[in-house]
Amino acid sequence: MTDTQETLEALLQEDRVFHPPEKFASEANAGPDIYDRAETEPETFWMEQALKRIEWFKKPTVGLDDSNPPFYKWFTDGELNLAYNCLDRHLEKNGEKVAYHWIGEPGDTRDITYRDLYEEVGRLANALKGLGVGRGDRVAIYLGMIPELAISMLACARIGAVHSVVFGGFSSDSLADRIDDAQAKVVITADGAWRSGKLVPLKANSDQAVARCPSIENVVVVRRTGNEISMRDNEHWYQDLVADQEIECEPEPLNAEDMLYILYTSGTTGKPKGIVHTQGGYLTGVATTHDYVFDIKDDDVYWCAADIGWVTGHSYIVYGPLNNGVTSIMYEGAPNHPGLDRLWQIIEDYKVNILYTAPTAIRAFMKWGDEYPAMHDLSSLRLLGTVGEPINPEAWIWYQEHIGGGHCPIVDTWWQTETGSIMITPLPGAVSTKPGSATRPFPAVGADVVDEEGKSVPIPGGGFLVLTRPWPSMLRTIYGDDQRYIDTYWSRFDGKYFPGDGCKRDDDGYYWLLGRVDDIMLVSGHNISTTEVESALVYHESVAEAAVVGRADSISGQAIAAFVTLRSGVEGSEELISDLRETVSDRIGPIAKPKSIVFTDDLPKTRSGKIMRRLLRDISEHRQLGDVTTLANAEIVQEIADKAAVSAED
């Protein structure tokens, strides 16, 4: 990546740096002094956090165990229970504090206190025991965003069972694959879920999956939508099952390294991997990052607007916030139902202080129009966050102006299902931000940018992001496939963890994520990242969202093919196409000009909203499409394929 510096300068033309507001900085949970000490003694830093933030049944004396790399372990002589830490220990002081303000899509609401949650979890934990679920058994959870989802996870954690949450938007086949891979004994599902005003038939999907999965012994069904479903032997209504259960359920003392959950990655790059997380290190990582990155205060109303079906929800809707005793918002439905201002209405109603969402959502809000956030009083917000994809500077600025009222710091947090918790991020009171940059590694996290040979690339410069030392919340393996764990993450660069993402560092050493290395394009001998070209396209006022891929080209090696979604009200035209090519040329250089531009109403995305470039590459090169099971909007693929075929003939 030789020409990355030029590109970066183009991106930074306006040289926008945002300093933490003075008041924010003076009251922040973490100041700049936190970095140096953590960097000198990372293991001590994590041990201190583990002891400070967790109530252990048996305190650990060992930090990192690196006797068998890359199978690292943390706090191996410690014993704890995550449900106990998330619930029981808050009861005395904070039992009546709201854990979740839950908002159903149709408009029904529930305020659930820590005591309510404790009681519900105890009942379900006892019920699961009654169904023969014990320590180490796997439980699949296939629900919409209702409180019972968090309750089910915590009930598993309480008795030492391993949960495998499958996002409620997945099909029966995807569910079956995941149940089968984990050999789950029980499925917890619901009659249905509400999404965009429509009923998602969860139980019917689960029936089809269970028919294929002999490992399932019992099915538990939450009544949510009230639609008619069929119930067979060994299928139980959740509400009936928990009704007569005792509240008290002894939390199982678990070893720090016992398995907590399996979660499948979102499938952007191919077949999902069953990522394994354990107890003590995971909780240490999520509790620490949640507190420092989101700068949590006692009376904050905090909203991570992700789905619990993704790691973001596991770490920052369930375990991090509950361990830290915070009040969260949990919203069941779609952001555009019934109106395009639904989220802003919720922020106004509940006086939300912290909002954490994804760039794909922010670009959708931009596309819908500035008038929707403007309808509401969003002045309660004091901090914004993003995760999931690189955020293009335009979206960053829009987010800050239209949602953050110009005064909220933004934390752009880079991490993965595999890392368990946030790895590269600003600390909002300590680090100045630049739109589009995730800034620097979290304290005690070791990161570097290396070249093909694994040698550190001098600053400024770009290459492959690696993590250079183990961290507590890291994945332990891929479920049932240690070899794939080694091959995927530890084989490319000796002794370093390879996440698969490209990255560069600017003169200040700030990290700019460049997307997946598989997506990086080689045009006439120059490496060009998809992220940069997409950012340049989105810079144009007519563009809401863009995806680019490199397709084989006889002259330049690879030619850049762009797929562009326009803002509402804008029509695509030949003129606009040349205008867009000029914009890219101005901002990056003529070499990065897309050879073809196709306008499309939508882009192929995973169910977590990430653009699936590998499918666009397949389309551009007229190949059979790869794995599409994790795709959210399959219809769009054919539509784009038809348009791409026409544009290729031009």
Let me know if 635 is exposed, middle or buried by CB neighbors in 10 A (0-12, 13-18, 19+).
exposed
Let me know if 398 is exposed, middle or buried by CB neighbors in 10 A (0-12, 13-18, 19+).
buried
Instruction: Output 127 or 358, the one with its CB closest to ligand ATP.
Output: 358
Q: What does the angle CA 503 – CA 509 – CA 510 come to, to the nearest 5 degrees?
A: 60
Q: Answer whether the bond into residue 106 is a cis peptide, omega within 30°.
A: no
Which among 540, 551, 538, 650 is positioned nearest to 603, based on CA atoms? 538
Least distance to ligand ATP, CB of residue 132, Å: 32
DSSP secondary structure of 306-368: S-TTSHHHIIIIIIHHHHTT-EEEEE-S-TTSSSTTHHHHHHHHHT--EEEE-HHHHHHHHHH
Enter the tokens of residue 519: 């997506």
Instruction: Output 328 or 630, the one with its CB closest to Mg ion.
Output: 630
450 binds, among ligand ATP, Mg ion, none (CB under 5 to 8 A by kind): none
Which among 54, 542, 494 is positioned nearest to 256, based on CA atoms? 54
Site for ligand ATP in 298-317 (CB under 6 A): 310-311
Instruction: Output 75 or 356, the one with its CB closest to ligand ATP.
Output: 356
- The site map against ligand ATP for 387-426 (x = CB under 6 A) is xxxx---------------------xxxxxx---------
Q: Segment near ligand ATP (CB under 6 A), from 48-56, 386-394, 542-550, 580-588?
A: 386-394
Q: Segment near ligand ATP (CB under 6 A), from 102-110, 119-127, 259-267, 535-543?
A: 259-267
**Contact call for residues 335 and 343 (beta carbons, < 8 A):** yes
**How far apart are the C-alpha atoms of 497 and 477, rounded to whole Å?**
12
Distances (CA, A) of 350 to 71, 109, 334, 488: 44, 12, 18, 43
Say whether residue 516 binds ligand ATP (CB under 6 A). Answer: yes
Say whether residue 445 binds ligand ATP (CB under 6 A). Answer: no
Amino acid in the structure at residue 104: G
Least distance to ligand ATP, CB of residue 488, Å: 9
- The site map against ligand ATP for 260-289 (x = CB under 6 A) is -----xxxxx--x-----------------
Say whether residue 120 binds ligand ATP (CB under 6 A). Answer: no
Least distance to ligand ATP, CB of residue 648, Å: 27
Say whether residue 610 binds ligand ATP (CB under 6 A). Answer: yes
**How far apart are the C-alpha atoms of 647 and 619, rounded to whole Å?**
12
| CB closest to Mg ion, residue no | 265
Site for Mg ion in 230-269 (CB under 5 A): 265
Instruction: Output 581 or 614, the one with its CB closest to ligand ATP.
Output: 614
CB atoms within 10 A of CB 150: 30
**How far apart are the C-alpha atoms of 628 and 637, rounded to whole Å?**
10
Least distance to ligand ATP, CB of residue 354, Å: 16
Least distance to ligand ATP, CB of residue 410, Å: 11
Say how many CA atoms lie within 13 Å of 427 toward its Cβ.
21
By residue count, the chain amounts to 650
Say whether residue 475 binds ligand ATP (CB under 6 A). Answer: no
Instruction: Output 178 or 595, the one with its CB closest to Mg ion.
Output: 178
Say whether residue 191 binds ligand ATP (CB under 6 A). Answer: no
The residues of the shown chain that bind Mg ion, judged by CB under 5 A, are 265
The residues of the shown chain that bind ligand ATP, judged by CB under 6 A, are 265-269, 272, 310-311, 387-390, 412-417, 438, 499-501, 513, 516, 608, 610
